Amino acid sequence: MTSKLTTSNRAGWGFALPGFALIATFIVLPFIFAFWLSLTNQRLISPNPTEFVGLDNYRSLLSIDVLSIEPERDAAGALVRDDDGALSYPAVRGFTRNNPDYPQYAGMREWFRWHWGDTAKVVIATDVIFWKALANTLTFVLVVAPVQGALALGLALLINQRLRGINFYRAVYFMPVVVSIVVVSLLWRFIYDGEDGLLNNLLSALTFGAFTGMDWLGNPDTALGSIMAMSIWQAVGFHMVIWLSGLQTISPTLYEASAIEGASKWQTFRYVTWPGLRNTAVLVVIVITMQAFALFAQIDVMTNGGPLDSTQTVVFQAVERGYGKQDISGGSTISVILFVLVLTISLIQRWLAREKT
């Protein structure tokens, strides 16, 4: 039902245009640019004209292969073992550098390897750092999304009870959300510090000195996990509030009914609360996933991608190349890959959460 009174092309466009033009220029245009730039060799400042290079950028980022290397044998055909009895393998270099038999491996480097019987399976990639960044980012998302979502729900349930002073607790739990992640990252460097870190001192006190301390951010095994814990600490209050608003849309009569039926706490949660939170759950998981993929400031402030590339992330790499090395096309290619990843994962999440008929 459209009324003549409200039809006006001039006023309609006039009011909407300023906002739309800004979005078109600063969001839509660069988004389209990203795809185009990823097919070129564009640099931020360059004396040479930009050339179209097709899928070269994608090829050099994504090329990955598995090399099977047989252990070395002596003249009689017996396996060569060193003093410790370990097998010895020819160097990967022999396959990837100037080897005319394997032109497809030229320039690739080893990422990691495992053993299959006597054969060594070596994963090689042209851009090992990017693959590490990709693996770290996916690990981060796969851990942070469910853990943060669940902790936020737990906090929301805890806060959603009628208690004197509950608003005070809600305000405190939410507090880290308003603090910049940059500030938070700096503060947590103190907590994670290997020498006088607050965490080491706390753990040492709790274990009566049995725990002797560890350099949380300096150890490749703990660095990413430490950043995950801090990120969850900072953002969990945000999603607690979203869960809370979902909880408050559930009708109290449903709870009364389940109390009359004599439902246990778990049953009430399982059959009343959780079904009522369905839409909220989808939103929370998608939002956390998008935020987790964007992991950057924590890395930039705390580790710079180290130690041993254990905290490299996709966005950190995009910035390091696009801005640090002024390689706009390389940064754009990573951006496109990131967008495709985010889109794929949120489509999968939506599909998993679809209404089952």
Q: Which of residues 220-249 bind another protein (CB under 8 A)?
A: 233, 237-238, 241-242, 244-246, 249
Among 174, 211, 269, 271, binds another protein (CB under 8 A): 174
Written as one string, the DSSP assignment of 38-62 is TTB---SS-SSPP-B-TTHHHHHHH
Residue 324 CA, chain-centre distance (Å), reads 21
Which residue type is seen at 278? Answer: R
Is residue 348 part of the contact set for another protein (CB under 8 A)?
no
The residue (of 120 and 284) whose beta carbon lies closer to another protein is 284
Among 172, 206, 308, 348, binds another protein (CB under 8 A): 172
| Type and span of the H or E element at 119 | strand 119-125
Stretch that binds another protein, among 24-32, 92-100, 108-116, 218-226 (CB under 8 A): 24-32
| Helix ranges restricted to H, 82-222 | 93-96, 128-159, 166-178, 181-192, 198-206
Instruction: Give the CA count within 13 Å in the CB-facing half-sphere of 84.
Output: 3
- Residues in 31-50 that interact with another protein by CB under 8 A: 31, 33-34, 37, 42, 44
Stretch that binds another protein, among 30-38, 81-89, 123-131, 217-225 (CB under 8 A): 30-38
Residue 273 CA, chain-centre distance (Å), reads 29
The residue (of 115 and 325) whose beta carbon lies closer to another protein is 325
The residue (of 106 and 183) whose beta carbon lies closer to another protein is 183
The residue (of 20 and 112) whose beta carbon lies closer to another protein is 20
* Minimum separation from the CB atom of position 241 to another protein (A): 5
Is residue 212 part of the contact set for another protein (CB under 8 A)?
no
The residues facing 82 across adjacent strands are none
Residues 6+ apart with CB under 8 A from 105: 65, 67, 95, 96, 99, 124
Separation CA 326–CA 143 (nearest Å)? 32
Separation CA 171–CA 154 (nearest Å)? 16
Separation CA 16–CA 27 (nearest Å)? 16
Among 66, 198, 308, 348, binds another protein (CB under 8 A): 198
- Residues in 142-171 that interact with another protein by CB under 8 A: 155, 158, 161, 163, 166-167, 169-171
Evaluate whether 350 touches 287 at the Cβ level (below 8 Å): no
The residue (of 99 and 167) whose beta carbon lies closer to another protein is 167
Is residue 186 part of the contact set for another protein (CB under 8 A)?
yes
What is the length of the chain? 357
The residue (of 3 and 104) whose beta carbon lies closer to another protein is 3
Is residue 19 part of the contact set for another protein (CB under 8 A)?
yes
Is residue 201 part of the contact set for another protein (CB under 8 A)?
yes
Separation CA 98–CA 96 (nearest Å)? 7
The residue (of 96 and 312) whose beta carbon lies closer to another protein is 312
- Residues in 250-269 that interact with another protein by CB under 8 A: 259, 262
- Residues in 41-100 that interact with another protein by CB under 8 A: 42, 44
Is residue 284 part of the contact set for another protein (CB under 8 A)?
yes
